[in-house]
Amino acid sequence: MKPFAALSNRSKASTWTLLARKCRFQAAAMATAADLSLGHLRRLCQEVFGESLGEWLRRERMVAARQLLRENRSVKETMETLGYRHRRQFIRDFRSAYDVLPTDWLRAHFPSARRESGG
């Protein structure tokens, strides 16, 4: 049995999330870990979730971003954990998802916390 054979089953959405986090939200790494071609992984994602692999990965990354920030991680540490190479891209994605900058989101939810600036 393939390590992530359950990817074709929507009821195993947690398997997709686990795989994405393990592979730092990198599509090619996910395909390799699941022993699938990248094209097959993309088709499966479209079938299972009704959205492209890129769209799904961006959404899941932002869910993980809020979770990491809630765990008292800095913006810099959060973006590095999620595999972002560029701070601006992380900030752009976060703002697109939540209509607020990551640092403003932190201030609104954790007003007394002192964290590194990052957006």
- Per-residue pLDDT of the chain in tens (119 residues, 90 and over written 9): 355 555 666 556 788 999 999 999 999 999 999 999 999 999 999 998 999 999 999 999 999 999 999 998 889 999 999 989 999 999 999 999 999 999 999 989 887 765 555 55
Is the full-model pTM beyond 0.95? no
Closest CA to 91 of 70, 55, 118: 118
Q: Are 102 and 69 in contact (CB under 8 A)?
A: yes
- In angstroms, what CA-CA distances link 20 with 14, 31, 72, 117? 10, 10, 22, 26
Domains of the chain by residue range = 1-50, 52-119
Place of tokens 């913006």: 75
